[in-house]
Structure 1
Amino acid sequence: MKKLALHWKIIIGMILGIVWALLSSTLGWSAFTINWIDPFGTIFINLLKLIAVPLVLFSIIGGVANIGDPSSLGRMGGKTLGIYLLTTVMAISLGLVLVNTIQPGRLIDYDTRLDNRLSYEIWAASEGHEVKDGHSYLNDPAYAERVKKVSALSTAKIDASIVSDKLAKAENQQNVSPLQPLIDIVPENFFASLSNNGLMLQIIFFALFFGVCLLYIPNEKAQPVLKLVDGINEVFLKMVDLVMQAAPFFVFALLAGVVSKMAGDDVGKVVEIFKGLSWYSLTVLVGLLLMIFVIYPTILKLFVKKISYIGFFKAVSPAQTLAFSTSSSAATLPVTMECVEQNLGVNKKISSFVLPIGATVNMDGTSLYQAVAVIFLAQMHMANLSLEQQLIIVVTTTLASIGSAAVPSAGLVMLIVVLNSVGLNPVWIAIIFPVDRILDMFRTVVNVTGDTVVCSIIADGENMLDYKGTKNPTETFDLDS
């Protein structure tokens, strides 16, 4: 087992975790799994988040200060944000093409969709919204009896405890001035930002500001600070090494807990959850897998010819498997940085600048999922969205993805904002909530893969990519080296 690559160990841990969860569910041990095994998964995510925030801070400060030329920093920053924005729009467009082609919402039986439509019109009338496609089933005499008996899926499955906090967060997100996002980037108390993972943009702003200022002070005064920053950075990277040695065991606990919470003491619950949302889940998965295995490698090959298809995936597989198990780009960030630096040969000046920004603003997987989810929910409520409304989804989803925190299920909060933008009922998120955690794992793999691709492109463009072929990913976290 010692010579086995880390990503294979993590995959084995994931499989064993799922098998254990299903077995414990069958035997009625789910409470034991949730109470005594799942907490170790939570500890694992907490450890990675503990490392991620200070690592982002000191990596960006060191990366910016070591660039040496403020004009280079501006050029690199513009290219980074531009490519991230381009891949986000591509992901959303792919999601819209797939959901309009497969039409998963229309594969639900007609009677259910008709009840859903009546429920939607009742909600729209009560909230003072205009039904977007202009049709009214509610006032049609042919459906008078059905209106009295309507019991739509969109309301029947709503659990207030699931959606109430997300609705409140989304409402706060919308009731702000146009320049509020810009205000939110600048912290009034940096130490408060450090204690809140959701304020990663503020940490990045401070790190960039600090690093740029180091460029403008005399070298003899800047060097001691840089040595301190580099030393602290090395300490946190060693923390990553130590934590990753136990990653397969932590991942076992994490997956066992996730599946046990879904199944309870009835394995059939997992099957039923996916059966009811099978076409929706399949549409999202097809889009996410296309991004991982087709879109990203194609983009990478266009700009960086020296990295082969197989070589790329071998290099970033530890970050991908960890992203899948944790569902958090921020928690995966320390491992992502080591993968691109040691396996792809990206200079630390590039990775320490591009990757932390990507973990915050690049949410391609989340964007694709939101686009599919909105159209799917509209389809299953017989609400036909026009091309103009779907373009609104592209714009809103792009902005919402930038605002999504790099933590599990944060995309659900932003999905409410997107639903509101096209006049659909935000409480509908309860319908897709049961499969969100599993899909979130795949979304995070997309996000992390996109970060590594963009980082490689920027590094190659700046002549800071020294790719020497595929190494065994185990070497990335080898304590004996």
Structure 2
Amino acid sequence: MKRCTYNPTLFIALALALGVAVGLVVGAPMTEIKFVGEIFFSLVQMCMVPFVMGQIIAAVGSLTPRELGNIGIKAILLFFVTSLIAAAFGVFTSEIFKPGLMADGAALVAGASSDAAVTHVSLAETLTSFFSKNIVSSMAAGAMVPCIVFSLFFGVALSLYREKHKTSHVFSLIEELNELLLIIIRMVMNVAPVGVFAYVSSSVGALGISMVLSVGKFILVLFGTSLVFCALWYVVVALYCRLPLGKLFMKTVPMVVMSAATISSAMTLPVEMEDAKRKIGLRRDICDLVLPLGVPLNSNGKALQLAVTAMFVAQLYGMEFTGGALIQCAMISWLLSFANAAAPGGTLISLTMLFPALGLPMDAIAIVGGLEYITAGIGTPPNVISDVFCGMLVAQHEENGINRDIFFGKKDYVESIDTLEG
């Protein structure tokens, strides 16, 4: 008899669907179990900062200075360009379909009220925040960007040290620490369906069907825009890397489901990295550098989501953007996507910066703020697949960057020799 195996992706998808259904049927009482979902997210997040930092330090430290400059610069340029394209695409589709022009828009505006404080952040302040005065306090605060910057410096120092001394006990220690953290994350992910069900059902129960229906056009445009953007991403990568489109899509399904359920790129990172290496065949050093680096620096979905949200609110309040204002909307959405928190709830922080920067009323947060789980669930999958696809585009120019034998299932991934054999 064939043994039944536990499939986390399948059970998370079922938990997500069941959570939506139960939340709609039961309603507000489901908010009583929200703490279960919050405990699950806390368990995953407790390892995320050291895990991301460790992966980047080990990845950068394993490369020679020449390899580091080649791969790292290409990846960062791709992150910036694709996120800007995503923001522009969100503005473009919103201008065509106008999600804010709806019959009950006046009622929504009239009922909106918010006590959210305006967050004014200048470009100079944003750039300054990328560099930590105290890395321990940055880690404690979960500030991903300064932690990434520190990790890059640490990794470069390790690379230079290993180039000179040929070996490093610190490098071996960090690699072992990464393995231990990954074991903890895998243990926590075994109970992911329970946590996802509790969080989704409580969020939908608090939101209610009426609000979902009243802003249905906005959600539909956001979902359609994200879907088309992702489809174009798949086509571009499949053609550029000369891989079958259908097979490429199937290999990314688990990470897409995980990202939609957890609404966090950071939480999806372990699954994303394993599938990129074991299913797609992405070379280990490229995967271990590009994918963790993409968590704070590559937010295609967030840039697109912020752009569509801004356009929706502007149209809802009769403040439609034209000409240079459309460009400004895309640029600000793009810049704020880099300040995106890698955990659930980060959207609200971004909105308090986005709305005043574009002259939009803060009261609109009362309309879109309650849709956090739905909008983030739509916006997170593009973040995740764009990390992998940027890695694949970089790998296409590297020797044995993508192991096609692994991609087509002709051989299994071997951790210890994949860097040598591609």
Q: Which secondary structure state, in structure 2, belongs to the residue aligned with residue 465 of structure 1?
A: coil
Which of 68, 81, 84 aligns to 1:86? It is 81
Alignment-mate amino acid for residue 66 of structure 2: S
> 1:344–1:465: 8 Å Cα contact kept in structure 2?
yes
User: 1:217 is matched with which residue?
Assistant: 161
User: 2:214 is matched with which residue?
Assistant: 276
Which of 24, 32, 55 aligns to 2:51? It is 55
Which of 210, 221, 224 aligns to 1:286? It is 224
Deviation at 1:212, TM superposition (A): 0.8
CA distance in 2 between partners of 1:397 and 1:100 (Å): 15
> 1:400–1:418: 8 Å Cα contact kept in structure 2?
yes
TM-score normalised by length of structure 1: 0.78
User: 1:18 is matched with which residue?
Assistant: 20
> 2:24–2:204: 8 Å Cα contact kept in structure 1?
yes
Q: Deviations along 1:93-143, whole A, 9 cap, x unmatched?
A: 22122111112222336xx65xxxxxxxxxxxxxxxxxxxxxxxxxxxxxx
Q: Deviations along 1:318-355, whole A, 9 cap, x unmatched?
A: 22212111111122222222221222122231122111
User: 1:334 is matched with which residue?
Assistant: 270
> 2:114–2:366: 8 Å Cα contact kept in structure 1?
yes
In the TM superposition, what are the counterparts of 1:384-423 in structure 2 within 5 Å? Answer: 384-423=320-359
Q: Deviations along 1:24-76, whole A, 9 cap, x unmatched?
A: 33xxxx53x433x43222122112212221111111111111112x1321222
> 1:94–1:368: 8 Å Cα contact kept in structure 2?
yes
Deviation at 1:187, TM superposition (A): 1.2
Does residue 353 (structure 1) correspond to residue 289 (structure 2)? The answer is yes
Q: Deviations along 1:247-286, whole A, 9 cap, x unmatched?
A: 2233222322222232xxxxxx31x112211111111111
CA distance in 2 between partners of 1:40 and 1:419 (Å): 32
In the TM superposition, what are the counterparts of 1:151-162 in structure 2 within 5 Å? Answer: 153-160=108-115
CA distance in 2 between partners of 1:363 and 1:22 (Å): 30
Please, which runs of 5 or more residues in structure 1 have no aligned partner? 114-151, 263-268, 477-481
Max radius of gyration: which structure?
1
> 1:60–1:207: 8 Å Cα contact kept in structure 2?
yes
Deviation at 1:4, TM superposition (A): 5.9
CA distance in 1 between partners of 2:343 and 2:358 (Å): 26
In the TM superposition, what are the counterparts of 1:7-156 in structure 2 within 5 Å? Answer: 7-25=9-27, 30-31=28-29, 33-35=30-32, 37-68=33-64, 70-108=65-103, 153-156=108-111
User: 2:233 is matched with which residue?
Assistant: 296
Q: 1:195 to 1:104 in 2, by over 3 A?
A: same
CA distance in 2 between partners of 1:224 and 1:200 (Å): 26
Alignment-mate amino acid for residue 246 of structure 1: V
Deviation at 1:444, TM superposition (A): 0.9
TM-score normalised by length of structure 2: 0.89
User: 2:202 is matched with which residue?
Assistant: 257
Q: Which secondary structure state, in structure 2, belongs to the residue aligned with residue 346 of structure 1?
A: coil
CA distance in 2 between partners of 1:156 and 1:19 (Å): 27
Please, which runs of 5 or more residues in structure 2 have no aligned partner? 415-422
Q: Deviations along 1:383-403, whole A, 9 cap, x unmatched?
A: 232211111111111111111
Query: Greater shift after overlay, 328-337 or 214-223?
Result: 214-223
CA-atom RMSD in angstroms? 2.4
Deviation at 1:23, TM superposition (A): 4.1
Does residue 450 (structure 1) correspond to residue 386 (structure 2)? The answer is yes
User: 1:192 is matched with which residue?
Assistant: 137
CA distance in 2 between partners of 1:318 and 1:96 (Å): 29
Alignment-mate amino acid for residue 398 of structure 1: W
Q: 1:183 to 1:382 in 2, by over 3 A?
A: closer
Deviation at 1:221, TM superposition (A): 7.4
CA distance in 1 between partners of 2:141 and 2:280 (Å): 31
CA distance in 2 between partners of 1:238 and 1:398 (Å): 35
Query: Greater shift after overlay, 214-223 or 294-303?
Result: 214-223
Deviation at 1:222, TM superposition (A): 4.1
Q: Deviations along 1:351-389, whole A, 9 cap, x unmatched?
A: 221112211022211211221222222222222322111
User: 1:126 is matched with which residue?
Assistant: none
CA distance in 2 between partners of 1:403 and 1:434 (Å): 21
> 1:240–1:335: 8 Å Cα contact kept in structure 2?
no
CA distance in 2 between partners of 1:238 and 1:14 (Å): 24
Q: Which secondary structure state, in structure 2, belongs to the residue aligned with residue 179 of structure 1?
A: helix
User: 1:375 is matched with which residue?
Assistant: 311
Q: 1:66 to 1:470 in 2, by over 3 A?
A: same
Q: Which secondary structure state, in structure 2, belongs to the residue aligned with residue 386 of structure 1?
A: coil
Does residue 241 (structure 1) correspond to residue 186 (structure 2)? The answer is yes
> 2:336–2:350: 8 Å Cα contact kept in structure 1?
yes
